[in-house]
Structure formats: C-alpha cells, structure tokens
Chains A and B, each alone.
Chain A
Amino acid sequence: QVQLVQSGAEVKKPGASVKVSCKASGYTFTSYGISWVRQAPGQGLEWMGWISAYNGNTNYAQKLQGRVTMTTDTSTSTAYMELRSLRSDDTAVYYCARDPGRYSGSSGDYWGQGTLVTVSS
C-alpha cells in the first residue's frame, strides 16, 4: 500500500532553517512527483511547490521563491523540503503528497501524516 511517512516535529528559532523528510513506499518513486502543502494553525491549505522524482524538476510558489528548496533521494525514495530564514508565520503543519503530475504540480492522491514546524524565539 502507498505510504508517505514524514519526519517528526521541529522547533526552530527565527532566522533558522528546517528540513522535513518524506519517505515513500508502496509504489515506484520515480513515476510520480511530490507536492508540499502547509497549513498554519486554524487556517487553510497553502501549496508550496512540487518536485519531479523522475528528473528533479521543481516548481515553487512565488511567495516562497528563494527560501525553499525541494529535493529527492531516489536511492531511499525520500523527498525533502528545506525552508530557510524562518519567520513566525512559517509556523504550520507541513504535508507531502504523492503527485501524478508529469511536468508540474497537480492533485495529491496520497498524503503524509504532516510535520509540525514551530518557529519561536
């Protein structure tokens, strides 16, 4: 069965960086992309970006350009999302999702359990 398992909760200080992992199993990792979506406390869903696990191509949300980097490690079927220069409004639950999009982000059909990132001094 398809599973995406994310790394554990993080607490970071403003200005620091965080790197969240998402380990996939139950399907051919390189046949899909991975999208990242975040949700601030009590708020809606915000799309952050997409990466192709086939060739590493990425698309990022404009507001996060320059602060976010998404990568994959095909040898371990793991995707990573790094967010730099953290601010308090980056506090959110971060989700990865399997994405069938071949050239850019589309709908996420299987989701990780979420990783809470708290940014606080």
Chain B
Amino acid sequence: EIVLTQSPGTLSLSPGERATLSCRASQSVSSSYLAWYQQKPGQAPRLLIYGASSRATGIPDRFSGSGSGTDFTLTISRLEPEDFAVYYCQQYGSSPRVTFGQGTRLEIK
C-alpha cells in the first residue's frame, strides 16, 4: 500500500499570501494518479485537482497542482478567506488500493 505523507501538518498564512502544500508518496504514483481535496468543517470533501495537475470543474485558477513520481504539490497562488480549510491528497494509481494523506490544516495567521 502506498503511504502518503503531507507536510506541513498546519500552515499559518494570511489572506493574499501564497500557500504551498506538499504530498510525498512512499512509492511512485503511476500515471500521476494523484488528487487534492479541500474540506471545511461539517462539509464533504471537494475535489480540487485530479491527475496531479488538472483542475476539477468550477475550481478557480488560483489553485494549481504539480509533481510526479513521489513528490506532489498543491499551490494556492493568492489566498482568499474561503480557502482556509483542511487539504487532503489521494493516490489512485495503485488501485485497487486507494489511499489518502493525513491532511494539512491551512489556518489564518
């Protein structure tokens, strides 16, 4: 099973700043089958990025994903107040065994 490790655990930034979230896999993720989700308290997760770098429908272009192999990054170019949430990465390249990272909490500084 591929283990995903997200860093940092908590990221404290101010609106308008740039956020860089990391997701490292214990083995190479085939075909860049890596997704990113945003989750706010009491809500279901929301798909942001799939295939490592493709934005999901309706996702603003301030969100971007990059990376391949074992190292992936989610970048939020300029933080808006509504972006403060928990972010999870997910790999589905080693299906049938899909796994999630433990999450990064993005909080207002």
Binding site for B on A (CB under 8 A): 35, 37, 44-47, 50, 59-62, 95, 97, 101, 103-109, 111-114
Contacts and interface: CB of A to CB of B under 8 A. Distances in A.
B88 A45 contact: yes
Given A45-B45, A45-B88, A114-B44, A107 B35 contact: yes
Interface of B: 1, 33, 35, 37, 39, 44-47, 50, 56-57, 88, 90, 92, 95-103
Main secondary structure of the interface of B (DSSP, over half): loop
A114 B88 CA distance: 17
A50 B96 contact: yes
Contact of B100 (A45, A97, A112): A45
A112 B56 contact: no
A44 B104 CA distance: 10
B33 A106 contact: yes
B108 to A, nearest CB: 20
B103 A44 contact: yes
Which 10 residue pairs spanning A and B have beta carbons closest together?
A59-B96, A104-B95, A107-B35, A111-B44, A107-B50, A47-B98, A105-B98, A45-B100, A106-B92, A104-B96
Contacts of B33: 106
Contact of B56 (A35, A37, A46, A109): A109
Given A59-B96, A105-B96, A107-B90, 7 more contacts: A37-B100, A45-B90, A45-B103, A61-B98, A103-B95, A106-B95, A111-B44
B95 A111 contact: no
A45 B50 CA distance: 17
A111 B100 contact: no
A52 B91 CA distance: 19
B11 to A, nearest CB: 16
Nearest to B36: A107
